Each structure stands twice: as C-alpha cells, then as structure tokens.
Amino acid sequence: MRFLASLRSGRDTVTGMIPGWVLAVVLIVFAVIFPYLVGSGSFLDASTQTLAYVIMALGLNIVVGFAGLLDLGYVAFYAIGAFVIGWFGSQQFPDVNGGKGIHILASDRATFQPKLSGGRLDIAGIHINFFIVLFIAMAITALWGVLLGAPTLRLRGDYLAIVTLAFGEIVPRVFENSTSGLFGIGSTDFSHGRQGITPIDKINLPWSHDLLYSDANLKPAYWVALGMVFFTIFVNRRLRDSRLGRAWIAVREDEVAAASMGINLVRTKLWAYAIGAAFGGFAGVFLGTYNNTVNVDQFEFGFSVFILAMVIVGGMGNIWGVIVGAVALSMMNRYGLPQLNSLSEPLGFDVTSISFGIFGFFLLIMMVLRPEGLIPSGRRRLELREAEIEGSEDTGAVGDMSQMYEVRQ
C-alpha cells in the first residue's frame, strides 16, 4: 500500500527508494549527453524521431489517460501541426508578397540549399522561424482540438472513439483534396495533393542565419526535440498536479459525481482536447521540418493507433509509463524492426511491412494480460483491475440514466 501511495502522491519513482529528483537528474543528464554516446548515425536519427513521438504520446495521454476520452483520431493534430510548418516554412505559397515571400527571423539557407548570393532573403513563400511556428501551431491545433472535440462531448466511450476516428480520417482528406482552393472556393494549392509539401525549412535560431543541424550532424536536432520533450513533461506534470488535473481524473472516474462537485464537464473535457491537441501540433511541426516533407500518407489511422499503443503499453495516465511506452515502441519501429529486417530480408520476409500488425499484437496482449500497462499509474491500475472484479456493478445503478443530463451541458 505504501508503494501505491508513493505512486499516487505524484512522485512516480520506479522503486520508491531513490528520491525522485536524483532519478530525474540522472535521466536528464543521460538524455542530454546521449548523442555523444551513440554518434550521429541512424540510431540518433531514430532517437530524434522517437522524442517527437514521446511528445505526441504525452499529449494523447492527457486526453486518454487523464480525462478518459478515447481518441482514435489523434493523427489529425499531427497533420494540422505539420501543415502549419508546411505553409509557414516552405515555398508552398510562391505568390505571397508579390513573389518575394514573407520572412520572419528565417534563415536565408532555410532548406539546405546553397547559400544565396549575399544572404538575401528573397526566397518565395512564407518563411517564419521554426520556434515561432511551434507556438503558432500549438495555438491552431488547440483551437482545432476544441472544434473537433466539442461535438463528441456527450457521446459514450465507444461512440466517442469512432467519431474521433472519423475526424482523424477527414482532416487528412481535406488537406489532400485542397489543391485548388478549399471545397472549390478560391484556387490556392494548400497541399500539393498526394505529393505533399517539400522541402520544408530547417531549424535556425532566431538571431542567426546558420542552420542548427545538417545531415552530417543531427545532434542539434536531437537537442531541440529533447528540449520540446522537457517542456511537454513540465506542462504535463504541472497540470496533473493541479486543479484541472484533479478535475480530469474526477471526470474520468465518475462524470455524474464530478459534475455534482461543481466541475464543468464541457470546459474540463475541452481543456483536455485542446492541450492534448496542442502537443500533437507541437510535435507535428518538428516532424514536418525534420522529415523535410509534409505528406498526407503520413497521416493514417495507423498512426493514431501507433501513438495510442504507446500510451496503453506504457500505462495510461502515468507520465513516466507513457514515456517508456513511447520510447520502446518508437525505437522498435524506427530502429529495431529495420535491424531485424536485415536478418529476415534474405529469407524474403520484410518485417517492417508488418510493423502495425506487431503493434496490434502488443495492444491485444496488453489488454488481455496487463490492461494497466507496463508502468501503470496507481489509480489507473486499480480502476482497470477493479472493473474486472466488479463486473457490471454500475449497470443501471441509478434509476434511469438516459434521463440524466437530458438537458444540454
């Protein structure tokens, strides 16, 4: 019980023996010096992508783990974030500003192209500094989180899941089809259709024209992603231990009781959607520039499930569990499977092609054998285990639930 108490009280140390801050310092130091340990090769590349997935998993964890809203369309926010950098960091809109483009603290070497004569900023298109776009994208995705979340608020768990899934499918289709205006209005090309937007501006510090990293030296890209991860963890932890975090858990456990305690269900859930979505966009911007392309093929349902699997495998609701889950699955996907493939390929078998099947298998095994995840939050485990024991305890407990909240929220 003491073990559980230590988990609950917000100090999620793995053993409960080592003080949390010691573990944190060790991990942070390790994460920072990590590129020096592995060099700037494919392993670092995989690690950098993994960091972006960690951000998304933490974002989705707010929606699924904290607030208990199963979101199967998280890829929509990745897509929106990626398209924001696609629009604000490429030559997608060549005609703006009379073809001279708009440049805000952008590099003149934004796309790894040879330096332009005299460093003139006259590349066509909109070019806004990466670090500014990050926050623009967060704001935009948060807004979309609210817009897409609002219709789902009163739906039951599985219906909510399907509606979010549908949104996750619609958003990329809209991008894909908006090659000549939106729904036939206007004629701007927003996406280049299936080809996608490429190249995307690389990262430069606002006060410098030098690009932060190159293909030969990926370390700075890793550190940018790591900084973003720290920011995400910081916000997640602060929110979890706040009035809003308590409200999320209360809503997850019992909506009726939560509302009766003065919690505004609509506002509480929309905050979860908004903040969760914002981190999807946050990571989306990074992946857009890091992958140098924004392409609708990246935004499949499978991706939503991929991120969801990270949250579930790690342990819904537990920040450290989710990070472990994200790192494990992402490294397996980005590094482990390709490695394994070099063994299986001579046998004529492509392991990477069935990566989603492997994640599906993990999801299934986790749900059947260990629904609380590898490193569950204390409460989440109890909830999941308890429901098994109690079965349908709540069924019809309160007279006529269909009449409850018959009114609007």
Partner 1 sequence: MSDQQQSGGAAVASSPPVGETLMEVTGVSKVFGGLVAVNDVNFIVPRKAIVSLIGPNGAGKTTFFNCLTGLYRPTTGRVNFDGTDITAKRPDIVTQAGIARTFQNIKLFRTMTATENVEVGMHPRLRSRVTGMILRTPFVRREEKAARERAREILSSVGLKRMDELAMNLPYGDQRRLEIARALASEPKLLLLDEPTAGMNPQESEELRTLMERLRTEQDISILLIEHDMKVVMNVSDHITVLDHGEKIAEGSPQEVRQNPRVIEAYLGSQA
Partner 2 sequence: MEAASITETASAPPPARKVGDVLNAYALPLLLFGALLAQFIYEPTGTLENVKTGLSNGMVWALIALGYTLVYGIVELINFAHGEVFMIGAFVALSLWQTFGVTESTGLALIVVSIIAFLVASMGASATLNVLIERAAYRPLRNAPKLAPLITAIGMSFILQNVGLLWRPTPDQVPDLIGSHSVYFTIFKVDVLHSDVFAVVVTVPLLIGLLWFVGSTKYGKAMRATAQDPDAARLMGIDVDRTISLTFLLGGLMAGAAGLIYALYNLTVRFNMGFTAGLIAFTAAVMGGIGNLKGAVIGGLIIGVIQAVSDGGNFLGLPLGEAWTPAVVFAILILVMVFRPQGLFGEETREG
Separation of first and last alpha carbons in the chain: 38
Provide, for the chain, the percentages of residues in helix, strand and coil under a 3-state DSSP scheme, each rounded to the nearest 5. Answer: 65, 5, 30
Write the DSSP assignment of 141-154 as a string of letters: HHHHHHHHHGGGTT
Closest separation between CB of residue 110 and partner 2, Å? 31
Residue 90 or 232: the one with the smaller Cβ distance to partner 1 is 232
Closest separation between CB of residue 155 and partner 1, Å? 18
Closest separation between CB of residue 373 and partner 2, Å? 11
Torsions phi, psi for 313 (to 5 deg) = -65, -40
Residue 320 or 362: the one with the smaller Cβ distance to partner 2 is 362
Residue 264's binding partner, choosing from partner 1, partner 2, none, with beta-carbon cut-off 5 to 8 A by kind?
Answer: partner 1
Closest separation between CB of residue 408 and partner 2, Å? 6
Distance CA 408, CA 281 (A): 30
Give the footprint of partner 2 on this chain (CB under 8 A): 68, 70, 72, 151-152, 154-159, 161-163, 165-167, 169-170, 173-174, 176-177, 183-184, 251-257, 301-302, 305, 308, 312, 353-354, 356-364, 367-368, 371, 383-384, 387-388, 391-392, 394-398, 401-402, 404-406, 408-409
Closest separation between CB of residue 393 and partner 2, Å? 8
The b/e string for 67-81 (b: 16+ C-beta within 10 A; e otherwise) is bbbbbbbbbbbbbbb
Residue 262's binding partner, choosing from partner 2, partner 1, none, with beta-carbon cut-off 5 to 8 A by kind?
Answer: partner 1
Residue 378's binding partner, choosing from partner 1, partner 2, none, with beta-carbon cut-off 5 to 8 A by kind?
Answer: partner 1
Residue 93's binding partner, choosing from partner 2, partner 1, none, with beta-carbon cut-off 5 to 8 A by kind?
Answer: none
- Residue entry with tokens 């054998």: 369
The b/e string for 33-48 (b: 16+ C-beta within 10 A; e otherwise) is ebbeeeebeebbbbbb
Closest separation between CB of residue 361 and partner 2, Å? 6
Dihedral angle of Cα 153, 159, 165, 169, to the nearest 10 degrees = -90
Closest separation between CB of residue 392 and partner 2, Å? 5
Residue 169 or 189: the one with the smaller Cβ distance to partner 2 is 169
**51, 232, 254, 385 from 237: Cα distances, Å:** 17, 9, 22, 25
Closest separation between CB of residue 193 and partner 2, Å? 9
Give the footprint of partner 1 on this chain (CB under 8 A): 1, 4-5, 8-9, 234-235, 238-239, 242-247, 249-250, 253-254, 256-265, 271, 275, 378-380, 382-383, 386, 397-400, 403-407, 409
Closest separation between CB of residue 258 and partner 1, Å? 7
Do residues 49 and 288 touch, judged by C-beta distance below 8 A? no
**54, 81, 294, 374 from 164: Cα distances, Å:** 21, 17, 22, 26
Residue 56 or 244: the one with the smaller Cβ distance to partner 1 is 244
Do residues 54 and 330 touch, judged by C-beta distance below 8 A? yes
Residue 11's binding partner, choosing from partner 2, partner 1, none, with beta-carbon cut-off 5 to 8 A by kind?
Answer: none
Closest separation between CB of residue 401 and partner 1, Å? 10
Quickly list H helices, 9-66: 20-38, 42-61
- Residue entry with tokens 């935009």: 140
Distance CA 337, CA 341 (A): 6
Residue 91 or 178: the one with the smaller Cβ distance to partner 2 is 178
Query: CB within 8 A of 315, min separation 6: which ones?
Result: 321, 322, 325, 372, 373, 374, 375, 376, 377, 380, 381
Residue 235's binding partner, choosing from partner 1, partner 2, none, with beta-carbon cut-off 5 to 8 A by kind?
Answer: partner 1
Residue 44 or 309: the one with the smaller Cβ distance to partner 2 is 309
Residue 392's binding partner, choosing from partner 1, partner 2, none, with beta-carbon cut-off 5 to 8 A by kind?
Answer: partner 2
Residue 379's binding partner, choosing from partner 1, partner 2, none, with beta-carbon cut-off 5 to 8 A by kind?
Answer: partner 1
CA-based torsion, 192, 195, 197, 201: positive or negative = negative
Residue 242's binding partner, choosing from partner 1, partner 2, none, with beta-carbon cut-off 5 to 8 A by kind?
Answer: partner 1
Residue 162's binding partner, choosing from partner 2, partner 1, none, with beta-carbon cut-off 5 to 8 A by kind?
Answer: partner 2
Residue 26 or 401: the one with the smaller Cβ distance to partner 2 is 401
Residue 103 or 252: the one with the smaller Cβ distance to partner 2 is 252
Distance CA 161, CA 156 (A): 9
Phi-psi region of 71 (alpha: psi -120 to 50; beta: other; left: phi over 0): beta
